[in-house]
Amino acid sequence: MRFTLMLSFIFSFSTLWGEVGAIKLITPIPSTIYHEETASVVVTFVSPLIDGVIISAESNQSSKIIRQKERNSYCKTVQLAPGENKITVSGFGKDGTIENISVLIFHDIVSEKIYKYPPEKYMEESFHTPTNERFCSSCHKMEVNEIPKIAFENPADSNCFQCHQKLTTRKYGHAPAINWLCTSCHEIKKELGDSKFTLPSMIGKTCLKCHDKESQKWETKRFHHMPVDSEKCTRCHNPHSSENKFYLKAKPWDICTSCHIDKREGKHVINTFGNKNHPTRDKPDPSRPGKEIECISCHNPHASDSASLIDAKSPMSICIKCHKK
């Protein structure tokens, strides 16, 4: 009897306050890693009782979407904070909230140690599978419409532009991205169930199809930086756009010290003659007028013939670039 009453109470509570499966969150996929600063939220209205949804994200972001006649799937772009992000989609009807769905995703940032390596539960996932794309096809053209190596006169003509335009809005744009030649880097695969657009984990060969002159120069050097040899160009560079020159994901000092943590406090392996630590930032760079000293003032980030990737024939020759007397 008590068991029956309990079931009756649970049924009444769920009917009054919610309906499981009233909405379906297509993306973000739970426990996914995001390398960019934004994420697309795609939700489908399953129950006819749903009148709309409220999408909530970090930094008090909130957006309301009202159901339109003969349309069930909707999308919204949200801004991500560094690290773990909670995104909640609340489906509501005439009597209030019907169902809440929350997911956790992780926005990694190469220049911040605490956000550089996502916890083990987070993984790489891709949205563009045949199953997911069918939710978007009523409003979006999902086929690739670019002609290889021919830029769009109007970027908005690219079928990729509407959803991914924020990837190219930063100060310095990478040519393939700002010309919407997405398949210059993303390979198209059509195997059922697999991701439609793929990237190799070792992206270097893709990058060096264009940057081959740099590659030939680096190959002649004795010492190579680990990300170069492991073909991990996107460890430091954003392939779409950046607020920093050379499409760096952060300022050079911040990127370098995310791995070389012992230098983060400004201490350097070489002491000056006054037994003071050599500055690594916040000082003028005599060898580059108008710029501050930073790691790349002395070190080549890709390859060198000198140990420690010193950007000169010897440590002493790098010193006299600034200390001429």
**CB atoms < 10 A from the CB of 189, how many?**
11
Which of 2-11, 144-153, 308-317 has the highest mean predicted lDDT (pLDDT)? 144-153
In the beta sheet, which residues pair with residue 33? Answer: 106
Q: How far apart are CA 248 and CA 141, in angstroms?
A: 32
Strands 241-242 and 172-173: antiparallel
Q: What is the pLDDT of residue 282?
A: 87
| Confidence band, pLDDT 50/70/90 cuts, at residue 317 | confident
Mean pLDDT along residues 140-152: 92
Alpha helices in 33-179 (DSSP H): 113-116, 130-133, 161-164, 175-178
Q: What is the pLDDT of residues 119-133, one digit of tens each?
A: 999 999 888 988 888
Architecture field, domain 18-125: Sandwich (2.60)
Which one has a higher pLDDT value, 275 or 251?
Answer: 251
- Band of the pLDDT at 18, cuts 50, 70, 90? low
- Per-residue pLDDT band for 272 (boundaries 50, 70, 90) equals low
Higher model confidence: residue 250 or residue 195? 250
**What is the Cα–Cα distance from 33 to 234, expressed in whole angstroms?**
14
What separation in angstroms does the CA of 93 have from each of 24, 265, 294? 15, 54, 56
Domain extents for the chain? 18-125, 127-132+140-199, 204-319
Per-residue pLDDT at 13 exceeds 90? no
Mean pLDDT of the region 137-154: 91
Average pLDDT, the chain: 88
Nearest-CA neighbor of 233 among 219, 246, 217, 251?
Answer: 246
The pLDDT of 24-53, averaged and rounded, is 95
Alpha helical stretches, state H, 196-298 = 204-207, 212-219, 226-229, 252-259
